[in-house]
Amino acid sequence: MIKSKHKTLVLSSLGVALFFTGAFVGRRLEVAKITVPMVQSAQQLLGLNFKPAQLDTALAELTDLRNSYGRLRTAKIGNDVPPALMFNPLPVGFTFEREKEKFKPSSLNKVELPANREDLAFYSVRELAELLKAKKISSVELTQFFLERLKKYNPKLQCVTSFTEELAMQQAKQADAEIKAGKYKGLLHGIPFGVKDLLSTRGYKTTWGAVPFKDQAIEEDATVVVRLREAGAVLVAKMTLGELAMGDVWYGGKTRTPWDIARGSSGSSAGSASAVAAGLLPFAIGTETLGSIVSPSTACGTTGLRPTYGRVSRHGAMALSWSMDKIGPIARTVEDCAIVFNAIYGPDGKDQSVYDAPFNYDAKRNLKKLRIGYLKTDFERDYPTKAQDQATLAALRKAGHELIPIELPKMPVNDLVMTISVEGATAFDEITRNGKVDLMVNQDKNAWPNTFRSARFIPAVEYLQAQRVRYQLIQEMHKMMHQVDVYVSPAFASSNLVITNLTGHPCVVVPNGFNSRNLPTTITFIGKLFGEAELLAFAKEYQDGTDFHKKHPSLNF
């Protein structure tokens, strides 16, 4: 019940801040009596200015609220428990296709084993699938090949948290037996892969890249792991991620890009991108909340797909932000991403945020009918990769596409990033309060420990107001997308990365050149919500006209 306007504002805005007015003694909080001067200090922190008499009226209920916080904290809430409030990425009036069609990959000319066996390291999933199906190589041979490469280069790249060798050999032998018996499951049958170590795997540790969880075992396979196993793929390793899905520093060190091991691979899907770029895996699974597929794919020169929010089940995945986390593949080619996505998308009856929408990929889709946009103002700015991006636009025009100039909504999108802070602080509230967050490697002002503590002072009212602005952003993006089917954006020189992660739009990141230090650069293509089929087909056409994805690091280290 709302008893008074001012009182309600005080309760909702000051409650969190007031809990921290006590002093910690060990792990026990010595709680001071709430007084008017105390509340006056708290409201200054939150930018409020209620009168002393109004604050005095609220003291009893503020005390009751603080007591409620203590009682609620006795509840056992695992990271796998989502909030009752669910994010809805669908704009008003939005509809998606209902009819599911057959997956239609491109056809290949006859694929042969290379004269130099080491060249297999950089074959695409599509090419390796042809070799396996034709029995020119076995899954056991291929699995051993990639395991050996992982073991050889991992000490320098630091891209693996756990090898799953025993499981991998079992799965590879099973794949070979099935293929021999004519029970071919499809393009992933017998293909080795890795998963970011925030996806649970039965029988192996799931460390989340952080010291407080480095010995954690979750005896359940994540839905993505299950679906890839059902497709016949072979899990060979758990890949590094920055601590609790931020950056490239984890409890065991810093994951490196194989293009320059003096540099980190960026994050947080650090190990997945590094291993694929170095030819240690044909593909790996990554996740993105705010750039964690796009950024390491740029640092490592890989191709990545960040699907629409609500496309892939996150069951068995570490939760950082329930309203922004997304799971997608990192691979050599756009079509490899399509092949993997085709195996992992769709409802599983466990993650209630997943929509039942088809993925009707056709490599021969008529792309001339697609309306292609580009962020004109952003491309015209001065930024480090402008030359490479301008070359991309020129290539698209040369291919016969008219590029329609569009502009992103002008809204305070950077202020909405508090969404991750609040939801992340909630997901890891227990280790923040019990002090285990202090065990994490990164402890600077931009690291999770400080963010989790700071987020405790974000009022619930401000968080929900931010979500209302986010709702408006979704509607504005929907209006903009009426003009185009796909649009092109600089990877980082715009607000696109922030906006589309907030709205849930799908993104494909593709290599588009090299900078003056011979490090990879990328371009991003954005599609409509649940429009991965058109998006991937268009990105594939661009990639087929380039050879940047075929270049690979020398690995002379």
Among 265, 269, 292, 313, which one carries the catalytic annotation? 292
Residue partners of 266: CB distance under 8 A and separation at least 6: 247, 248, 257, 273, 295, 296, 298, 299, 300
Domain over 117-411+469-550 is classified CATH 2.60.120.10: no
Q: What is the per-residue DSSP string for 320-364?
A: S-TTT-EEEEEESSHHHHHHHHHHHBB--SS-TT--------BTT
The CB density around residue 504, as the number of other CB atoms within 10 Å, is 24
User: Among candidates 386, 408, 380, which has minimal Cα distance to 497?
Assistant: 408
Record the tokens describing residue 490, joined without a space: 């600089």
Per residue of the chain (557 residues), what is the pLDDT tens digit? Answer: 434 333 333 344 444 455 444 444 344 556 789 999 999 999 999 999 999 999 999 999 999 999 999 999 999 999 999 999 999 999 999 998 889 999 999 999 999 999 999 999 999 999 999 999 999 999 999 999 999 999 999 999 999 999 999 999 999 999 999 999 999 999 999 999 999 999 999 999 999 999 999 999 999 999 999 999 999 999 999 999 999 999 999 999 999 999 999 999 999 999 999 999 999 999 999 999 999 999 999 999 999 999 999 999 999 999 999 999 999 999 999 999 999 999 999 999 999 999 999 999 999 999 999 999 999 999 999 999 999 999 999 999 999 999 999 999 999 999 999 999 999 999 999 999 999 999 999 999 999 999 999 999 999 999 999 999 999 999 999 999 999 999 999 999 999 999 999 999 999 999 999 999 999 999 999 999 999 999 999 999 999 999 999 999 999 99
List Cα–Cα distances, 313 to 176, 178, 350, 351, 355, in angstroms. 28, 27, 8, 5, 9
Q: What is the per-residue DSSP string for 176-221?
A: HHHHHTT----TTTT-EEEEETTB--TTSB--TTSGGGTT-B--S-
Has 196 been annotated as catalytic?
yes
State how far the Cα of 314 lies from the Cα of 79, in Å rounded to an integer: 12
- On the 0-12 / 13-18 / 19+ scale of CB atoms within 10 A, 21 is middle
Distance of CA 206 to the CA centre of its chain: 17
Has 268 been annotated as catalytic?
yes
375 three-state secondary structure:
strand
State how far the Cα of 335 lies from the Cα of 106, in Å rounded to an integer: 8
State how far the Cα of 73 lies from the Cα of 69, in Å rounded to an integer: 6
State how far the Cα of 260 lies from the Cα of 534, in Å rounded to an integer: 34
Q: Residue 487 is inside which H or E element, if any? A: strand 486-490
CA Rg value for the chain: 25
Q: Are 289 and 321 in contact (CB under 8 A)?
A: yes
Among 200, 266, 268, 295, which one carries the catalytic annotation? 268
Pairing of strands 520-527, 486-490: antiparallel
Among 138, 196, 274, 421, which one carries the catalytic annotation? 196
Q: Are 524 and 410 in contact (CB under 8 A)?
A: no
Q: Residue 234 is inside which H or E element, if any? A: strand 234-239
Has 297 been annotated as catalytic?
no
Residues forming a β-bridge with 104: 362
State how far the Cα of 459 lies from the Cα of 15, in Å rounded to an integer: 8
